[in-house]
Amino acid sequence: MGQINPNTGIPQGPPLFPILYLFYNADLIDRIHAAYPGRVMVTGYIDDICILVWSRSATTNCQCLEWIQ
């Protein structure tokens, strides 16, 4: 089997970019945790971030997400 050269895709940035992304967003993540202690989980990988909020009230959850936005 010969070498495969893909002709499609999105060019990726330098390997340093994911680390810079973490430094750039670290303060934001800290502020989210401080504003809603014990009710927010923030996780991410490379340049994607997922924010999960929970409480007994859907209204409170929506207010939290609106504040984050």
pLDDT on residue 57: 92
pLDDT on residue 1: 65
Question: Cβ(22)–Cβ(48) under 8 Å?
Answer: no
Q: What is the pLDDT of residues 17-26, one digit of tens each?
A: 878 887 888 8
Q: What is the pLDDT of residues 30-62, one digit of tens each?
A: 998 998 888 999 887 767 888 999 999 999 999
Pair of tokens at residue 19: 């680390």
Could you give the C-alpha distances from 59 to 11, 31, 63, 65, 66, in angstroms and in order? 41, 21, 6, 10, 10
Residue 28 or 11, more confident:
28
Instruction: Calculate helix-pair angle for 17-35, 58-68, nearest 10 degrees.
Output: 140
